[in-house]
Structure 1
Amino acid sequence: MTLTTLIIGVAITSALITGLMMARKQEIKNPLISYLQNFTGVLFIFSGVVKAIDPLGTAYKMEQYFSQFEVTFSETALSFIAPIFPALATISIAFSVFMIVFEIVLGVMLILGNRPKFTAWAFFLLVFFFLILTGFTYLTGYVPNDVNFFAFGSWSSFNEANMKVTDCGCFGDFLKLKPKISFFKDVFLMIPAILFVWKSKDMHQLFTKKTRMFAALGTTVLFTAFSLYNFVYDLPIVDFRPFANGVDVRTGKAEQVAKVSEAPIFFIYRNPQDTTEMKQFSDEELDKIPEGWEYFDRIQDKIETSKLFDFVNIQGKTISKTTYLMYDTGDGEPYLELSPEDTLDGLEPGWVLVNTKEDEQVIDADVSEQILNNPNPHFMIVCHDLKKTNKSAFATKIATLQKEAEAKGMEFYAVVGKVGTEEVEEFQKGMGIDFPFYIADDILLKTIVRSNPGIVLWKDGKIIHKWHYRHLPTLEEINVTYLK
């Protein structure tokens, strides 16, 4: 779905609601205001519901905003505001659930016309809040990395790489919008927001006051419970992310890597006589570079990629095997050992290959390709934050699954974020865990599974299934259901 198709769907739905109201002779004081009530109400309900399916996604996004706001304000005269944002980050999940439910309830109140003046101002303030987020996301593209956002005189031309938060999360992972589109969407929504405040007396009201009140209250209770279900009790009921069940991560990543590598490269040259004059040339146009011009930079067309592209840099201990060739003259002299990197040049006559020796060393390496290329079923335990993970899940369900899996010869390992090697070793020792632990970017791990810990069953580069730690089945049940 695109934003255009979404807007068309919302517009048609709103027209049908407005038409039904007119057919039932509901009191409509201002047809335009009534239509806008229905339009914004439907839009907010839809936007809130797709985020309620995955409230942790919104929480993680708000953590990014709070982190950037802290840095931004700490360098200004408003530095006294900066400490607020780390405090908000500690309650980002509660904050996000509140905002999601509030958005849905506000959508219902707009359609029903519940408490017009309050609803009008609440809508205005919420849209203004969204405008701050999307505006910050988009406008930081004009702010060089070494410049504060509020140093407006030092802004430069737009560069997407400068953006501190890459997308606003307006529709969660269901629909990704470019920051510019998100920003202007909220600019547009300020029009009905201002109209509602100005013309709140013209807003329609459906049913009785008591009915409207119970509808708002019921919506609050229902979607608070629904939001909590989707991360406290289980994984989101619908997975909009790239690492959904059944996704072939290896193939998807390979396709994206190929697209990026094939993206056209352009070379930028500038006139030494006038350094503001620059031109870009493709590979085929290099012979057209004016004589005397200087190379300045090179750029590559940006290819849209998903988090599949970022399935890299999973660091862990792995075994490096080296085979040494053992040569002997047969006269009792010591063996001559040659590694695969050595050559036979200069080897004296009479030396005969008599044996080989395997040498194993444990080294640090990126094991992401090893994971993707494992043809056998294997389990990945994902912990984006080892300090906050549910330790009882490790001690009970995960420990049981590990024993069952290893008895069947299935590989079993954990991938964790936000820690160093010492913290991992301390955790393993404290929990009595002997399976391997790898370290990866916590944002990648949050994207893979919305549980801490979460359990992922892989096979041949494909995600077979994922589980919240509260709903981890036995290996026998997994074999029957997913590995027939």
Structure 2
Amino acid sequence: MKTLTHIIRFIVGGLFIFSGFVKLVDPIGSQYKFQEYFSEGVLNLEFLIPFALPFAILLIIGEIVLGVALLVGWLPKLTLWKLLGLILVFLFLTWYSAYYNKVTDCGCFGDFMKLTPWQSFYKDVVLTIMIVFLLFQQKHIKPISSQKIVASITILSFFACMYLSFHVLTHLPLIDFRPYAIGENISEGMEYKGDGEIPKVHDFSLESAEADLTEELLSKEKVMLVIVYNIDKADENGFPAIKKMTDEAIVKGYTVYGVSASFEDDLVIAQNKYDLPFEFLFCDETTLKTIIRGNPGVVILNKGTVTGKWNYTDVADIEL
């Protein structure tokens, strides 16, 4: 029983750390997922939507820190009860998603791995059983070192998570699991493989008021796209640097366009306000949020291959 307890302890702790980490490298992805859960068509808790990001970060850090605490054996009783509370929240969300077919991907592992709602639910059922087992066998869970050391490790993991979350929110995700990651070819991602699978890239288009420019731009070298998924939610502090960088890019032969899902009139106002030297194309908002987490952000393409991505905070670092 003692050996089984340790095996389950390491499985649970390791899984919580892994699940938290793949979301911590891209917390905005989790923010979007909680916004979906809070929306009118799902849990109807729209008053919580403005708090989706801090809520997501809190849960992500909670997963990692509690996983670390379980592995090092710090306050096992308190840790296990908190893990039980956390998994019950996840269990409800995955059951609700599966039973009512509301959210097709729970986001349990961020963009690293997609699970169906029922797969997510059954995974959480197994984890719940494991945590309950550990609660009954907590006498076998001992600290791996002195209380001072295991407490220090757990607290250090909390501050490390806080720093990492701040870093990726200021810049871009440390690891990009999406089909628009650097090195991915968008044209290839849009192709059907003939095996019935949905293409990795869908709903991607670059449309002007007159024409669809998708194929043309994906066949060109030196294409720069300034992504502003919603002009009303964009950080206006980023546009002066965007203006300076795009002026230089045009001089150096880049084809430069803005891409947004906002209304044309709002985009024209922004163009005039910030003296932006490019026109805006239209693309689906969800697609733009998937392409890059910055708003505004910059993507450079070479014949459809993503060769660079930057949040507006880092555009001064772009080497053309």
TM-score normalized by structure 2?
Answer: 0.92
- Aligned partner of residue 463 in structure 1, secondary structure: strand
1:316 to 195, 204, 208: 208
Structure 1 residues 120-149: Cα deviation after superposition (integer angstroms, max 9, x where no partner) = 1111111111112222222223xxxxxxxx
- Aligned partner of residue 232 in structure 2, secondary structure: helix
- Aligned partner of residue 414 in structure 1, secondary structure: strand
- The offset of 1:410, in angstroms, is 2.1
1:170 to 104, 108, 124: 108
What amino acid is the match of 1:58?
S
Residue 214 of structure 2 is matched in structure 1 by: 368
- Contact 1:123 / 1:193 at 8 angstroms: preserved in 2? yes
What amino acid is the match of 1:179?
P
- Aligned partner of residue 32 in structure 2, secondary structure: helix
Residue 109 of structure 1 is matched in structure 2 by: 69
- The offset of 1:466, in angstroms, is 1.0
- The offset of 1:72, in angstroms, is 4.5
Greater fraction of residues in helix? 2
- The offset of 1:434, in angstroms, is 4.2
Greater relative contact order structure (CA < 8 Å, 6+ sep): 2
- Contact 1:235 / 1:451 at 8 angstroms: preserved in 2? yes
Q: 1:129 to 1:421 in 2, by over 3 A?
A: same
- The offset of 1:170, in angstroms, is 1.2
- Contact 2:246 / 2:277 at 8 angstroms: preserved in 1? no
- The offset of 1:42, in angstroms, is 1.0
Distance 2:317 2:22 in 1: 31
- Contact 2:222 / 2:253 at 8 angstroms: preserved in 1? no
Alignment gaps of 5+ in structure 2: none
Greater fraction of residues in strand? 1
**Counterpart check, 1:236 vs 2:173:** yes
- The offset of 1:369, in angstroms, is 2.6
2:229 to 353, 360, 384: 384
What count of residue pairs does the alignment treat as equivalent?
320
Residue 129 of structure 1 is matched in structure 2 by: 89
- Contact 2:172 / 2:310 at 8 angstroms: preserved in 1? yes
- Aligned partner of residue 415 in structure 1, secondary structure: strand
- Contact 1:168 / 1:179 at 8 angstroms: preserved in 2? yes
**Counterpart check, 1:413 vs 2:307:** no
Pair member with larger Rg: 1
1:249 to 179, 182, 186: 186
- Contact 2:184 / 2:305 at 8 angstroms: preserved in 1? yes
- Contact 2:24 / 2:57 at 8 angstroms: preserved in 1? yes
Distance 1:401 1:102 in 2: 39
What amino acid is the match of 2:288?
L
Distance 2:204 2:8 in 1: 43
What amino acid is the match of 2:114?
K
Distance 1:469 1:55 in 2: 17
Residue 129 of structure 2 is matched in structure 1 by: 191
What amino acid is the match of 1:315?
E
**Counterpart check, 1:422 vs 2:258:** no
- Aligned partner of residue 310 in structure 2, secondary structure: strand
Q: Which residues of 2 match residues 50-89 of structure 1 at below 5 A?
A: 50-67=22-39, 70-72=40-42, 82=44, 85-89=45-49
Residue 120 of structure 2 is matched in structure 1 by: 182
- Aligned partner of residue 472 in structure 1, secondary structure: helix
Structure 1 residues 261-310: Cα deviation after superposition (integer angstroms, max 9, x where no partner) = xx6xxxxxxxxxxxxxxxxxxxxxxxxxxxxxxxxxxxxxx52432x122
- Aligned partner of residue 458 in structure 1, secondary structure: strand
What amino acid is the match of 2:69?
M
